[in-house]
A and B are shown apart, each in its own frame.
Chain A
Amino acid sequence: MDKAKIGTCWLDGCSGCHMSLLDLDEGIVAVLEKADIVFGPLVDAQEWPEGVDVAVIEGAVSSQDDLKLAKIARVRSKVVVALGDCAVTGNVPSMRNGIPTRKLLERVYVEGATERPGTERPGVPTDGVPALLKQAQPLHSAIKVDVHVPGCPPKPSAILFVLSELLEGREPDLGSKLRFG
């Protein structure tokens, strides 16, 4: 039988959920016997491939790029997993949501910057950085999400359970493993 394909990506989060994924210890061997990781920060691929079975998405949807990648991952994957509190609730990235984006960027990049003689005046960067959306939103407000795995980060045991269930073709029910924060 062909191996299943897992794609992962990291939107507005701290990478902690990916760290937790790497923290499956020998559990990762069992996962990799059944599936290949075909996209994500852990592998080289440049583009989200077609025909992914399980998309594992960390982070809130915070910028134009986040939104684009989330949408691509959705159409090219059978099952989408929101991994961690940022993807599930918006979490820490959403703490900016009460502040208008312009004000926020100026506070950080202008007011918050130290001017040094001989260097450019501090300003809001626009080159090579994606535009921020008005608010950082949970993944399910941007795309359809099939499985939510909260936690900051989710425990490796919860991630292993969810991946194993999905790879067996079952719908995971976190039950007592459900944990926020």
Chain B
Amino acid sequence: MTDKVKVRIDGEVIAATAGQTILEVARAHDKYIPALCYMEGLSAVGACRLCMVEVSGVARLLPACTTPVQEGLAVATTSPQIQSYRKMVIELLLVERNHVCAVCVSSGHCELQTLAQDHGVTHVRYPYNYPRLSVDTTHPRYVLDHNRCVLCSRCVRTCAEIEGAHVWDIAGRGIHSRLVSELQRPWGEATSCTSCGKCVQACPTGAMAEKGWGVEEMTKQRAGVSRLTSMREGQ
């Protein structure tokens, strides 16, 4: 039998199942918590820190995507402090690599761009990093543009957990972290890649795209990737 617990989200009492995360419960009840590295159907890694919420009795903010609910938990999804942190996180993501929306395949359909717009990021207060990064065009059907990668690892988890191929990993540390395919082999030479394209669909930004699309043309089918997991769980 599953354990039912009662939690409070922004004052509203909600019945949840023990083991669910704050983010899952909030989403199921149409409460908005922004998230970037979280994707339904994948394991949660708590990498981007956009989903930070206040939990009463806890002094620091907690990531909603990895914090399980407990009986009596009271969560505030937003506050001036949370908003200012979220804005900061978005701005830091924008300065880390080269985001030039005007020439990006994903402009208009990008989760990072939408987050910036929704959080009133009119400009970025930090100096831009302008790293020199490569674009891997070796795969016959897909492109990986490191300039747009936010290191959310959604592609890594999609390929490992759903496709079962585990082509991707993140190598290096801190600012030098890079997404790598098969121990640094170009994507086109990665023999374990089945060319299923699920990583591309799961990628929240313009970092992964199908070849042949122009600016603003790449739309993604993320729900389809998430659905695969729920269909398998239902078996």
Residues on A lying within 8 angstroms of B by beta carbon are 82, 85, 88-92, 94-95, 97-99, 135, 138, 140-141, 145, 148-150, 152, 174-175, 178-181
Contact of B101 among A85, A95, A141, A178 (CB under 8 A): A85
B16 → A minimal CB distance (Å): 32
- Contacts A145-B123, A181-B102, A181-B107 aside, 8 further interface pairs with beta carbons under 8 A come to A89-B124, A90-B128, A97-B128, A175-B120, A178-B117, A180-B107, A180-B113, A181-B108
A178 with B122: CB separation less than 8 A: yes
Which residues from chain A contact B173 at a C-beta distance below 8 Å?
none
Closest 5 CB pairs of A and B: A181-B101, A152-B102, A181-B107, A98-B132, A148-B122
Q: How far is the CA of A82 from the CA of B103 in the complex (A)?
A: 20
Say if the beta carbon of B104 comes within 8 Å of chain A.
yes
Contact of A181 among B113, B120, B123, B124 (CB under 8 A): B113
Which residues from chain A contact B98 at a C-beta distance below 8 Å?
94-95, 98
Residues on B lying within 8 angstroms of A by beta carbon are 94, 98-104, 107-108, 113, 116-117, 120-124, 127-128, 130-132, 216
- Which single residue of chain A is at the shortest CB-CB distance from B132? A98
Which residues from chain B contact A174 at a C-beta distance below 8 Å?
120, 122
Q: How far is the CA of A178 from the CA of B123 in the complex (A)?
A: 10
B135 → A minimal CB distance (Å): 12
30 contacts between A and B (CB under 8 A): A85-B101, A85-B102, A88-B122, A89-B94, A89-B99, A89-B123, A89-B124, A89-B128, A94-B100, A94-B128, A95-B98, A95-B100, A97-B128, A135-B130, A138-B123, A150-B122, A152-B101, A152-B102, A175-B120, A178-B117, A178-B122, A180-B101, A180-B107, A180-B113, A181-B102, A181-B104, A181-B107, A181-B108, A181-B113, A181-B216
Q: How far is the CA of A140 from the CA of B104 in the complex (A)?
A: 23
Contact of B123 among A82, A92, A99, A175 (CB under 8 A): A82
Which residues from chain B contact A97 at a C-beta distance below 8 Å?
128, 130
Which residues from chain A contact B107 at a C-beta distance below 8 Å?
180-181
Contact of A179 among B117, B124, B132 (CB under 8 A): B117
B123 with A148: CB separation less than 8 A: yes
Give the residue among A88, A95, A138, A181 with the most B Cβ atoms within 10 A.
A181
Which residues from chain B contact A99 at a C-beta distance below 8 Å?
132
Which residues from chain B contact A178 at a C-beta distance below 8 Å?
117, 120-122
B103 with A140: CB separation less than 8 A: no
- Which single residue of chain A is at the shortest CB-CB distance from B119? A178
Q: How far is the CA of A123 from the CA of B33 in the complex (A)?
A: 55
Which residues from chain B contact A92 at a C-beta distance below 8 Å?
100, 102-103
Contact of A98 among B99, B116, B131, B216 (CB under 8 A): B131
Which residues from chain A contact B130 at a C-beta distance below 8 Å?
94, 97-98, 135
B223 → A minimal CB distance (Å): 23
Q: How far is the CA of A88 from the CA of B102 in the complex (A)?
A: 12
Which residues from chain A contact B113 at a C-beta distance below 8 Å?
180-181
Q: How far is the CA of A180 from the CA of B113 in the complex (A)?
A: 7
Which residues from chain B contact A145 at a C-beta distance below 8 Å?
123
- Which single residue of chain B is at the shortest CB-CB distance from A140? B123
B123 with A88: CB separation less than 8 A: yes
A133 → B minimal CB distance (Å): 13
- Which single residue of chain A is at the shortest CB-CB distance from B130? A97
